[in-house]
Amino acid sequence: METESGVNDQRPFRIGELSAQSGLSRDALRYYERRGLMPRTRRTTGGFRLYPPEALDRIRFIKQAQLHGLTLGEIAELLGFQQRRGRERCRQVKSLLTRKLNDVDQRLQQLQEFRQTLRSYLSQCERALGLGTEEECPVARELSDDRS
């Protein structure tokens, strides 16, 4: 945190200050701490949480990882790799990213299959509407009869 003089103020944040600086609610900060995304904080004698100045960097990392589609569980896993260095850390990150890519590929396949189903339904509707009759919509009928 920089003061008006431009000097870096290395004092700890209280939860309200960190909330204001990070854009996360106090409840979200507490939740992140329970999930292990944020380190356990020390407390004042009055019981207030005190977050170290680097907590803001940790929150930025978490937010950035979420923007890239990582879950909080995956982010916690990534944060757990911080104690490792070099090739070992890189292998751990690579393993996580490989799993994530496989998950994305699987969801893409499911979405492509769903897209084909929607195209088929759309064609059925267009054919039925082209007949000009007042019959029941074939898609609605099919969905009603499909009790699998």
Q: What is the mean pLDDT of the chain?
A: 88
pLDDT > 70: what percent of the chain?
A: 92
What are the tens digits of pLDDT across the range 25-71?
999 999 999 998 998 888 888 888 899 999 999 999 999 999 999 99
Q: Model pTM?
A: 0.70
Helices (H) and strands (E) in the chain — how many of each?
Answer: 6, 3
The third-level CATH classification (topology) of the domain covering 1-72 is Multidrug-efflux Transporter Regulator; Chain: A; Domain 2 (1.10.1660)
How much is the pLDDT for 146?
64
Q: Where are the domains of the chain?
A: 1-72
d(CA 94, CA 65): 15
Exposed, middle or buried: residue 55 (CB in 10 Å: 0-12, 13-18, 19+)?
A: buried
49: left (phi over 0), alpha (psi -120 to 50) or beta: beta
CA 103 to chain centre: 14
d(CA 33, CA 26): 11
Q: How many other β-carbons are positioned within 10 Å of the β-carbon of residue 39?
A: 14
How much is the pLDDT for 48?
86
pLDDT > 90: what percent of the chain?
A: 61
d(CA 106, CA 19): 37
Helix (H, G, I), strand (E, B) or coil at 43: strand
Q: Which of 1, 23, 79, 16 is nearest to 49 (CA)?
A: 16
Provide the 8-state DSSP code for 14. E
- Contact partners, residue 102, CB within 8 Å, separation at least 6: none
Q: Tokens for 81?
A: 């790799």
